[in-house]
């Protein structure tokens, strides 16, 4: 059976302070076998395409540095062209791999009628050797994580099948559990705030909306961490964690109780089983940084890899704590990361004092202030410059800020 969110996560708040009793979700067992015959699928319209961003240089320290020099983030992060241009100043270049997305459905077999999203990697004719490595790695990672039908995590996108075309294109077929990303939600929410007007008839309306937003964001982060815990427990790193790599089935905050966050984009996932440590062309950058940080033994390299993912998850939490709680144009992901890394050198409490002085950031500060600063406490731990001092994913998931216990 699919794994649900921890039962301790609070149910959605109702108007007037009441809380709705949770409804049991009906989740039928699903097969872990992959369909490899293209005749089982029907392809629909093109949904879009995106590239990947390659960070070609980075600032590093012996205590851990900043993660993901080889990680490629897709261009659907919600960044504007101006922000992408600013990224290029920091030695960030656009990779050659272009991914296409199509909608579709299964037309044969026991899953007939299941809606799908196809992720298409360019073929050998296009000279995309890197694309083949990425597609193969993503396929192998999903196949491994889905190898036991009794141990499938609902917070990781589910792969239905894969096939190769005559032109060498690699097609991965995922179950369509949602097409929004966390970046989409953050962008929509911040833009909506520009149009909001005070409700003089109901002075509690804004407070209630903020409560729904806090619940939605915490449920999103809780689900993302559930997926990351599952991956780490099965010796797999994500290595591309960000707001675009969390897919959502809804962006409506009133439907937060039914929110299902899922991790996607596992093309750069790394096997950290001891027999596989240091193997793989796509993970060379990770192991170079591990060596630069003083991790030499397999145990130390494994710890560095886990901590690297935790750092990415910390930046995701920071992003979701600020962008949806600020009006559009006030803060963006790049500026936030620069503020934390460059301006305050990962001194999160100093960053809080700075944000406290800006009224436009007040709601983000209030959100992280929940539970006497539990959000800031968690960020400081996850973004610790010393990778050895960062918590493991399960500790993050059980933290009082992520469980929703503070709402």
Q: Rounded to an integer, what distance in angstroms lies between the CA atom of residue 194 and that of residue 337? A: 23
Dump strand ranges (E) for 17-169.
41-50, 52-55, 72-74, 92-94, 99-106, 115-121, 152-153, 159-164
- The pLDDT value given to residue 372: 94
pTM of the predicted model as reported, rounded to 2 decimal places: 0.83
Say if residue 236's pLDDT is above 50: yes
Q: Rounded to an integer, what distance in angstroms lies between the CA atom of residue 407 and that of residue 403? A: 9
Q: Rounded to an integer, what distance in angstroms lies between the CA atom of residue 145 and that of residue 86? A: 37
pLDDT band of residue 97 (cuts 50, 70, 90) is: confident
> Which tokens go with 295?
């991790």
Say if residue 186's pLDDT is above 70: yes
Say if residue 281's pLDDT is above 60: yes
Domain-located, residue 28: no
Same domain? 185 vs 156: no
Tens-digit pLDDT profile for residues 29-40 = 444 578 999 999
Say if residue 71's pLDDT is above 50: no
> Which tokens go with 33?
């076998």
Say if residue 67's pLDDT is above 80: no
264 and 174 Cβ atoms separated by less than 8 Å:
yes
Domain-located, residue 339: yes
pLDDT band of residue 78 (cuts 50, 70, 90) is: very low
Single out the residue in 133, 157, 175 at which a domain terminates. Answer: 175
pLDDT band of residue 268 (cuts 50, 70, 90) is: very high
- The pLDDT value given to residue 274: 87
Q: What is the mean pLDDT of residues 108-123?
A: 93
The total number of structural domains that make up the chain: 2
Domain-located, residue 10: no
Same domain? 352 vs 262: yes
CATH number of the domain that residue 148 is part of: 3.30.200.20
Say if residue 92's pLDDT is above 60: no
Q: Rounded to an integer, what distance in angstroms lies between the CA atom of residue 87 and that of residue 251? A: 27
Q: Rounded to an integer, what distance in angstroms lies between the CA atom of residue 316 and that of residue 242? A: 5
Same domain? 125 vs 167: yes
Same domain? 286 vs 384: yes
218 and 368 Cβ atoms separated by less than 8 Å:
no
Contacting residues for 172 by C-beta, under 8 A, at least 6 apart: 118, 119, 120, 121, 135, 138, 139, 142, 159, 161, 162
Provide the greatest CA pair distance for the chain. 65
CA-based R_g, the chain, Å: 21
Cα-based torsion angle of the residue sequence 266, 270, 276, 277 in order, rounded to the nearest 10 degrees = 180
CATH number of the domain that residue 312 is part of: 1.10.510.10
Q: What is the mean pLDDT of residues 118-142?
A: 85
- The pLDDT value given to residue 27: 41
Single out the residue in 112, 140, 175 at which a domain terminates. Answer: 175
Same domain? 217 vs 256: yes
Say if residue 333's pLDDT is above 60: yes
Tens-digit pLDDT profile for residues 335-388 = 999 999 999 999 999 999 999 999 999 999 999 999 999 999 999 999 999 999
Contacting residues for 175 by C-beta, under 8 A, at least 6 apart: 114, 115, 116, 117, 157, 158, 159, 160
Q: Rounded to an integer, what distance in angstroms lies between the CA atom of residue 179 and that of residue 376? A: 30
pLDDT band of residue 6 (cuts 50, 70, 90) is: very low
118 and 173 Cβ atoms separated by less than 8 Å:
yes
Say if residue 77's pLDDT is above 50: no
- The pLDDT value given to residue 406: 79
Same domain? 149 vs 189: no
Same domain? 264 vs 139: no
| Helix (H) and strand (E) counts in the chain | 11, 15
Domain-located, residue 104: yes
Q: Rounded to an integer, what distance in angstroms lies between the CA atom of residue 24 and that of residue 8? A: 14
Contacting residues for 53 by C-beta, under 8 A, at least 6 apart: 72, 73, 74, 75, 84, 87, 92, 93, 94, 95
- The pLDDT value given to residue 183: 95
Same domain? 371 vs 244: yes
Single out the residue in 139, 160, 175 at which a domain terminates. Answer: 175
pLDDT mean across residues, the chain:
83
- The pLDDT value given to residue 96: 62
Tens-digit pLDDT profile for residues 100-109 = 999 999 999 9
Higher pLDDT: 405 or 95? It is 405
Instruction: Report which DSSP code applies to 274.
Output: T
* Least confident residue range of 13-22, 108-117, 288-297, 304-313: 13-22
Q: Rounded to an integer, what distance in angstroms lies between the CA atom of residue 104 and that of residue 180? A: 16
For the chain, give the percent of residues with pLDDT over 90. Answer: 67
Same domain? 153 vs 230: no
112 and 97 Cβ atoms separated by less than 8 Å:
no
Q: What is the mean pLDDT of residues 218-239?
A: 97
Domain-located, residue 64: no
* Least confident residue range of 90-99, 181-190, 213-222, 225-234: 90-99
Domain-located, residue 26: no
Domain-located, residue 156: yes
pLDDT band of residue 195 (cuts 50, 70, 90) is: confident
Same domain? 162 vs 252: no
14 CB neighbour count, 10 Å cutoff: 11
Say if residue 203's pLDDT is above 90: no
Same domain? 157 vs 248: no
With b meaning 16 or more CB within 10 Å and e meaning fewer, what string describes 54-68?
bbeebeeeeebbbbb
Same domain? 383 vs 311: yes
113 is in which domain, residue-wise?
Answer: 38-54+95-175
Higher pLDDT: 74 or 43? It is 43
pLDDT band of residue 277 (cuts 50, 70, 90) is: confident
Count of positions (residues) in the chain:
407
> Which tokens go with 402?
């992520």
pLDDT band of residue 204 (cuts 50, 70, 90) is: confident
Domain-located, residue 188: yes
């Amino acid at each position: 059976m699919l794994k649900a969110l921890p039962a301790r996560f609070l149910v959605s708040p109702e108007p007037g302070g009441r809380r709705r009793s949770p409804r049991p979700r009906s989740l039928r067992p699903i097969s872990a076998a992959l369909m490899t015959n293209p005749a089982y699928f029907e392809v629909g319209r093109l949904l879009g395409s995106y590239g990947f961003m390659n960070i070609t240089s980075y600032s590093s320290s012996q205590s851990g540095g900043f993660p993901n020099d080889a990680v490629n983030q897709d261009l659907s992060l919600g960044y504007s062209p101006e922000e992408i241009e600013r990224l290029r100043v920091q030695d960030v270049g656009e990779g050659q791999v272009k991914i296409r997305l199509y909608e579709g459905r299964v037309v044969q077999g026991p899953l007939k009628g299941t809606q799908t999203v196809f992720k298409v990697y360019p073929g050998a004719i296009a000279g995309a050797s890197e694309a083949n490595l990425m597609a193969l790695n993503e396929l192998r990672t999903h196949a491994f994580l889905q190898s036991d039908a009794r141990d499938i995590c609902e917070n990781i996108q589910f792969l239905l099948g894969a096939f190769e075309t005559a032109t060498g294109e690699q097609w991965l077929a995922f179950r369509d559990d949602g097409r929004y990303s966390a970046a989409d939600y953050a962008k929509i929410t911040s833009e909506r705030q520009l149009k909001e007007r005070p409700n003089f008839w109901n002075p509690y309306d804004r407070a209630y909306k903020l409560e729904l937003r806090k619940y939605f964001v915490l449920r999103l982060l809780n689900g993302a961490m559930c997926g990351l815990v599952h991956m780490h427990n099965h010796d797999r790193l994500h290595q591309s964690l960000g707001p675009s790599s969390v897919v959502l089935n809804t962006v409506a905050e009133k439907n937060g109780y039914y929110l299902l966050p899922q991790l996607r984009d596992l093309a750069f996932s790394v096997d950290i089983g001891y027999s596989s440590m240091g193997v793989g062309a796509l993970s060379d950058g990770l192991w170079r940084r591990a060596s630069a940080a003083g991790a030499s033994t397999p145990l130390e390299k494994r710890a560095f890899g886990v901590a690297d993912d935790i750092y990415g998850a910390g930046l995701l939490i920071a992003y979701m704590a600020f962008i949806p709680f600020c009006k559009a144009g006030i803060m963006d992901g790049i500026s936030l990361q620069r503020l934390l890394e460059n301006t305050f050198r990962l001194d999160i409490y100093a960053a809080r004092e700075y944000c406290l002085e800006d009224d436009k950031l007040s709601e983000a500060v209030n959100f992280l202030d929940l539970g006497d600063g539990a959000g800031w406490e968690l960020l400081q731990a996850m973004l610790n410059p010393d990778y050895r001092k960062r918590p493991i994913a399960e500790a993050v998931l059980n933290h009082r800020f992520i469980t929703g216990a503070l709402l």
